[in-house]
Structure 1
Amino acid sequence: MSEITKELTQKFASDFKDNNKQNALQRGVVKNGIRASAENVSAQVNNVPVFSVDVKTGKVANQKQSGRCWMFAALNTFRHKMLNQFQLKDFELSQNYTFFWDKYEKANYFYENILATANQELTSRKVAFLLQTPQQDGGQWDMIVSIFQKYGVVPKTAMPESSNSSNSRELNTYLNKKLRKDATVLRRLVAEGKTPAEIQTVKAELLQEVYNFLAISLGTPPETFDFEYRDEEQAYHLERGLTPQTFYDKYIGVDLDDYVSIINAPTADKPYNQSYTVEMLGNVVGGKEVKYLNVAMDTFKKLAIAQLEQGESVWFGCDVGQSSTRDTGIMSLDAYDVNDLFDINFDMTKAERLDYGESLMTHAMVLTGVDLVDGQSTKWKVENSWGEKVGDKGFFVASDAWMDEYTYQIVVRKEFLTAEQLAAFEAEPTVLAPWDPMGALA
């Protein structure tokens, strides 16, 4: 290995000092920061928030200090349908309700994976992966489908937000502390040769503690509730004695099995037009398998456009922090010119970013519009879940080139797929490692 010599560092320092341009840049960046110094106004000029296809939506929601974007995005797609069908205004479904059941199910999923790997050493990569983050707020589309199908949904009035759902850091800290402690218990039972029945009895006791912890922290999920509202015409509506399942069936009525996850991962290990799943990725034991069809980006965008043109918004996952402005809500490759600022080439291909850990899906939002020029997409309207104080009243604009580089997943109806694409999706999937970037949780 070659060390850095004092003489080499002195040469670098001298070269920097003699460069007037770099000294001028230093003054600006030290005072204002990297992004503020590199921001391009042209990105706003080129991404005006006007779209030829624009799905009607209500106000944006706010996930606050939590990682529930994937839930908010899914519930927002339902909310869009309800707003139009029932003439609702400023209506939301309960994110706290789905949050409770997701945490509860993730605890059991963790326990089962700990038991499945109990004969492996603590230093094995799979065990270390499980213990690094026993559970977290994030998730995938198929995971929220599992929650909807098992537990239904409720309006926000039936289970409002709580302090710990709006700011989940403390809840996650103590729940993960408990789950790691419980992992020592379960692994010890396996090492002692306890029977599966004996182990499941202890696991049930641990799950009771999880339920108690969640109920104390988030509130108790309702088994029945009344749905009361006034529509935009001020007509009064009341329905009593609904369950989460009957509410879903009557007011949402979406057959979730009609939807598929489409990804764009242009890496050598994931050929296009094949299906994939990820080992140890999920939340509900016995629930819906996480599964994707990998396609080229032009196909990916055509599928999203087809659904938008039919008036239906699109759940999607991306790397939101890349080349995006939070205040103005612009996601564009020219949002910042950091290459010119530092005279360093930071560019990588999409495949390289995935392979080398520079990018993965970090956030889920909803595509609610697209601007088409001669049939080609130029920019996309994005409903975020960070409240109305960012972007254009909470809505963002993504340039088409940004979509190409930093969007990884969409969810669309099966009807938009060709027969060949549907067959590829339904084929036995290739199983990816738990730490594959396509296993990232939004």
Structure 2
Amino acid sequence: MSQPITSDNLQDFKATFDRLPKSHALKRTTMKNGILASSEDTNSQIAMDPVFSVELDTGSVANQKQSGRCWMFAALNTMRHPLQDQFKLKGFELSQNYTNFWDKLEKSNYFYENILNTASLPLEDRKVAFLLATPQQDGGQWDMLCALIQKYGIVPKSVMPETYNSSTSRELNSVLNKKLRKDAVTLRQLVADGADDTQIAATRETMVSEVYRILVFALGEPVTEFDWEYKDDDGNYHQDHLTPQQFFQKYVGWNLDDYVSLINSPTEDKPYNHLYTVEMLGNVVGGREVRHLNLDIDTFKQLAVKQLQNGETVWFGSDVGQSSDRKAGILDTGIYQLDDLFDVDLSMTKAQRLDYGESLMTHAMVLTGVDLVDGKPTKWKVENSWGDKVGNKGYFVMSDDWFDQFVYQIVINKKYLSDAQNDVLKKEYDQPKVLAPWDPMGALAL
């Protein structure tokens, strides 16, 4: 039924506004100070006092600067935390540029793979349009970082430091996406013309080689072996000759297969206690694939607490832009009282926000502490990767209710899972339910 806005409607709207208590005073303050400042509840800052009953000392925060590599920074941070303690390396960082190089090369090849797999579909098909909308980007997920490390290893930041293009990635992403779209034209035309597999493979190899060249210009050339010299916190000198794989095995030593992605998605299409993957989500062709075990929120949080209590930090993905104060470093559902300011009901359930496009995972950080009262969490300590000028020297405080509403993914060592949860991983790993490419659980953390 068509329902245009009439002049009578407009008169009623104005009369309703004028009848609201303090409407004109609220209009003046909102116009002058902005919506968030006008609706801010200062009680949130009091409640989010940065004191925690369980707190891990993880040192200074890193800074992803003007790039969308939070997922990479957060994952490498979880690995450097125990490394710093074991080898007495205060302030040590792993090279985010090294993994960034390989991620962009592999994502480009992954794009070519998907373009060829969908070459018989028309351009207006939703999957093809999805691929071409963003051929590659900075964002990613935990399993994608694992795929890179399993293939290429990692190195200290001193071995492959940041460049202008790794820290400010807009120009590089623009060039790469321009090239990938142009290459998509060529690959789809080859398929349409009936080219054989040998010709297509040779063309694709040339394309990947050209991407490699662009990345070397922009990010530098990754090492295959290196000499690492350092002094520990006691002033002792050390020297080691290593490959990136040897460095990971010797200085990190994790079995990455032990760490699994858990999600909390309370939508009807994703029953709890089942395994999910996302079509066309990944970076390394033939490498580790994305797997998500969906759990209810209470179990989800209990596992995060258990890992923290055992001295291990927790990678997590959330919608950081919701109810957050970047400067103060507060993530709290009560920080802005928008409903009170506008006298409207803006409430939605977590499932509704996911289903209707109001929320999805946008950013990855690290849990480094939790405050437990009577055994239950009330607030969480968060290590961000936006440098030390925001929050409390780069650290944020997250309320437990914010965790319930806007945290979607955590990474937990399988040893903390129940036998039943590990059985699901084993039984469903090779046949998870496949979600559409645009499903919210396929969002990339930036």
Does residue 436 of structure 2 align to residue 436 of structure 1?
A: no
TM-fit CA distance, 1:424: 1.3
CA–CA distance in 1 between the matches of 2:171 and 2:11?
47
Specify whether residues 14 and 159 from structure 1 end up closer, same or farther in structure 2 by C-alpha distance, changes over 3 A only: same
Query: What is the DSSP-based 3-state SS (H/G/I as helix, E as strand, rest coil) of the residue aligned with 1:190?
Result: helix
Does residue 163 of structure 2 align to residue 165 of structure 1?
A: no
List per-residue Cα deviations over 1:5-25 (Å, max 9, x = no partner): 233223323443465612111
Letter in structure 2 aligned against 1:92: E
Q: Is the 8 A contact 1:385 1:394 kept in 2?
A: yes
Letter in structure 1 aligned against 2:298: D
Query: Structure 2: which 5+ runs fail to align?
Result: none
The residue aligned with 1:323 is 323
List per-residue Cα deviations over 1:259-318 (Å, max 9, x = no partner): 111100000110000000000000000111100110100000111111111100000000
Instruction: State the TM-score, normalized to the length of structure 2.
Output: 0.97
Alignment identity in percent? 62
Letter in structure 2 aligned against 1:6: S
The residue aligned with 1:187 is 188
What does 1:45-64 correspond to in 2, within 5 Å?
45-64=46-65
Query: What is the DSSP-based 3-state SS (H/G/I as helix, E as strand, rest coil) of the residue aligned with 1:143?
Result: helix
Bigger drift between 107-116 and 47-56 goes to: 47-56
The residue aligned with 1:338 is 338
TM-fit CA distance, 1:132: 0.6
The residue aligned with 1:413 is 413
List per-residue Cα deviations over 1:368-393 (Å, max 9, x = no partner): 01111111111111000000011110
TM-fit CA distance, 1:361: 0.4
Bigger drift between 344-353 and 7-16 goes to: 7-16
Bigger drift between 49-58 and 264-273 goes to: 49-58
CA–CA distance in 2 between the matches of 1:207 and 1:175?
11
The residue aligned with 2:404 is 404
TM-fit CA distance, 1:40: 1.2
The residue aligned with 1:6 is 7
List per-residue Cα deviations over 1:333-360 (Å, max 9, x = no partner): 1111111011111110000000000000
List per-residue Cα deviations over 1:55-80 (Å, max 9, x = no partner): 12010000000000000000001110
The residue aligned with 1:270 is 270
CA–CA distance in 1 between the matches of 2:43 and 2:225?
53
CA–CA distance in 1 between the matches of 2:144 and 2:187?
25
Query: What is the DSSP-based 3-state SS (H/G/I as helix, E as strand, rest coil) of the residue aligned with 1:390?
Result: coil
Query: Structure 1: which 5+ runs fail to align?
Result: none
Query: What is the DSSP-based 3-state SS (H/G/I as helix, E as strand, rest coil) of the residue aligned with 1:317?
Result: strand
Q: Runs ≥4 in structure 1, deviation > 6 angstroms?
A: none
The alignment of Structure 1 onto Structure 2 pairs a total of residues equal to 441
Instruction: State the TM-score, normalized to the length of structure 1.
Output: 0.98
CA–CA distance in 2 between the matches of 1:321 and 1:160?
29
The residue aligned with 2:99 is 98
Does residue 143 of structure 2 align to residue 136 of structure 1?
A: no
CA–CA distance in 2 between the matches of 1:311 and 1:321?
28
CA–CA distance in 1 between the matches of 2:90 and 2:382?
20
What does 1:385-396 correspond to in 2, within 5 Å?
385-396=385-396
CA–CA distance in 1 between the matches of 2:59 and 2:324?
23
Letter in structure 1 aligned against 2:160: M
CA–CA distance in 2 between the matches of 1:403 and 1:20?
34
Query: What is the DSSP-based 3-state SS (H/G/I as helix, E as strand, rest coil) of the residue aligned with 1:411?
Result: strand
The residue aligned with 1:242 is 242
TM-fit CA distance, 1:425: 2.2
CA–CA distance in 1 between the matches of 2:401 and 2:251?
37
Q: Is the 8 A contact 1:259 1:411 kept in 2?
A: yes
Letter in structure 2 aligned against 1:245: Q
Q: Is the 8 A contact 1:292 1:425 kept in 2?
A: no
What does 1:25-424 correspond to in 2, within 5 Å?
25-239=26-240, 241-424=241-424
Letter in structure 2 aligned against 1:410: I
CA–CA distance in 1 between the matches of 2:23 and 2:131?
46
Q: Is the 8 A contact 1:264 1:409 kept in 2?
A: yes
Q: Is the 8 A contact 1:275 1:429 kept in 2?
A: yes
Specify whether residues 43 and 256 from structure 1 end up closer, same or farther in structure 2 by C-alpha distance, changes over 3 A only: same
Q: Is the 8 A contact 1:230 1:236 kept in 2?
A: yes
TM-fit CA distance, 1:197: 1.2
Q: Is the 8 A contact 1:151 1:245 kept in 2?
A: yes
CA–CA distance in 1 between the matches of 2:239 and 2:23?
67
Letter in structure 1 aligned against 2:321: G
CA–CA distance in 1 between the matches of 2:387 and 2:7?
51
Q: Is the 8 A contact 1:313 1:367 kept in 2?
A: yes
Bigger drift between 36-45 and 136-145 goes to: 36-45
Letter in structure 2 aligned against 1:438: M
Bigger drift between 230-239 and 210-219 goes to: 230-239
Q: Is the 8 A contact 1:379 1:400 kept in 2?
A: yes
